[in-house]
Amino acid sequence: MTETTTAPVLGAPAVPGPRPGEAFIIAMCNQKGGVGKTTTTINLAGALAEHGRRVLVVDCDPQGNATMACKVPLLDEDKGPTQATVLLEMGDPRPLIAETKVPNIHVLPASMDMCFLPSRMRESGVSVSLYRRMLSHVLHLYDVILLDLRPALDTDTDAQTAAANGAIILVDVDEWAMKAVKMQQAQHIAVMRRAERPDDDLAILGLVIGRIVKPMGDIDAKIYRQLQRHPRIRCIGEVPIRSTDLKESRAVGLPVVQHRPRTDTAGFFRTIAVNAGLVKAA
């Protein structure tokens, strides 16, 4: 069985950037649920903040897990504007952005009314451009914007993808993993066409294999190898099961890099940050 890769991928390409002075927007995606999107988003933010990067986490999921992980209150449409209302009204999200316990990490919280976003976005007639328009207000404030997508291929995730410069696809070792990656790639191509952008304008930064349990049976070991050697997308990191480090960090509202900086768990996310081309190895 191949061992977990924690060393940086050699020759990682420089990330093709947006305009100078503007944030690089990354869609953290997979329509398959529970694969580690939110866990990787929060902890990659921690690894980037450690390098002094200013990071905005946009919680794109009405479940609100990224918001809750930052110990920030969810927004409530009965009490004021939400990400959904600002998005649909093509407004400025800055008043909604909250600080977290890590000075360089801010979060645009989620809210329950985001459940209705797909249908409301379709009614707008300009759905695919809405996230890009909203984020245009904050591009100059951050180095990296991480979009924590919900597990779906729908109008909202299309618009989030259309706003992105790059994507990191999270996967778990599961018999449906390769199929899920294929569907994700198909969405990326379809969205780029709808957004009238060239296919390669969305940089697929890599696959991250999350929630790895070892030892593996033969079936999982085969899937794991297929993911590690994916024909078109390089594997930029792996996150084995580390419930204690991750839960204890989340319980205090910190990424593991800040809460338990010397653990191997922190190292997994530092490696992802380097392999994605977002920071240089220390």
Distances (CA, A) of 273 to 12, 75, 113, 220, 263: 11, 29, 32, 26, 16
Q: Which is nearer to ligand ATP, 23 or 168 (CB)?
A: 168
Contact stretch for ligand ATP (CB under 6 A) within 7-15, 81-89, 215-223, 235-243? 235-243
Q: What is the C-alpha separation between 7 and 211, in angstroms, rounded?
A: 18
Please report whether residue 241 would count as binding ligand ATP according to CB under 6 A.
yes
Q: Which one of Mg ion, ligand ATP, none interacts with residue 34, CB within 5 to 8 A by kind?
A: ligand ATP
**Token pair of 84, please?**
């959904």
Please report whether residue 38 would count as binding Mg ion according to CB under 5 A.
yes
Please report whether residue 37 would count as binding Mg ion according to CB under 5 A.
yes
Q: What is the C-alpha separation between 20 and 114, in angstroms, rounded?
A: 31
Phi, psi of 6 (to 5 degrees): -120, -10
Please report whether residue 270 would count as binding ligand ATP according to CB under 6 A.
no
Contact stretch for Mg ion (CB under 5 A) within 35-43, 165-173, 203-211, 252-260? 35-43
Please report whether residue 91 would count as binding ligand ATP according to CB under 6 A.
no
Please report whether residue 64 would count as binding ligand ATP according to CB under 6 A.
no
Asked if 129 contacts 159 with a C-beta cutoff of 8 angstroms, the reply is yes
Q: Which one of Mg ion, ligand ATP, none interacts with residue 187, CB within 5 to 8 A by kind?
A: none
| Length of the chain (residues) | 282
Q: Which is nearer to Mg ion, 62 or 277 (CB)?
A: 62
Q: Which is nearer to ligand ATP, 84 or 169 (CB)?
A: 169
- Pairing assessment for the beta strands 55-59 and 105-108 based on DSSP bridges: parallel
Please report whether residue 250 would count as binding Mg ion according to CB under 5 A.
no
Asked if 259 contacts 249 with a C-beta cutoff of 8 angstroms, the reply is yes
Please report whether residue 210 would count as binding ligand ATP according to CB under 6 A.
yes
Residue 141 CB, nearest approach to Mg ion (Å):
24
Q: Which amino acid appears at position 193 of this protein?
A: R
Contact code string over 19-48 relative to ligand ATP, x by CB under 6 A = --------------xxxxxxx---------
Contact partners, residue 10, CB within 8 Å, separation at least 6: none
Please report whether residue 104 would count as binding Mg ion according to CB under 5 A.
no
In terms of Cα–Cα distance, which of 162, 169, 149 is closest to 60?
149
Q: What is the C-alpha separation between 270 and 281, in angstroms, rounded?
A: 8
- Pairing assessment for the beta strands 105-108 and 98-99 based on DSSP bridges: antiparallel
Q: Which one of ligand ATP, Mg ion, none interacts with residue 35, CB within 5 to 8 A by kind?
A: ligand ATP
| Residues at the site binding Mg ion, with contacts judged by CB under 5 A | 37-38, 65
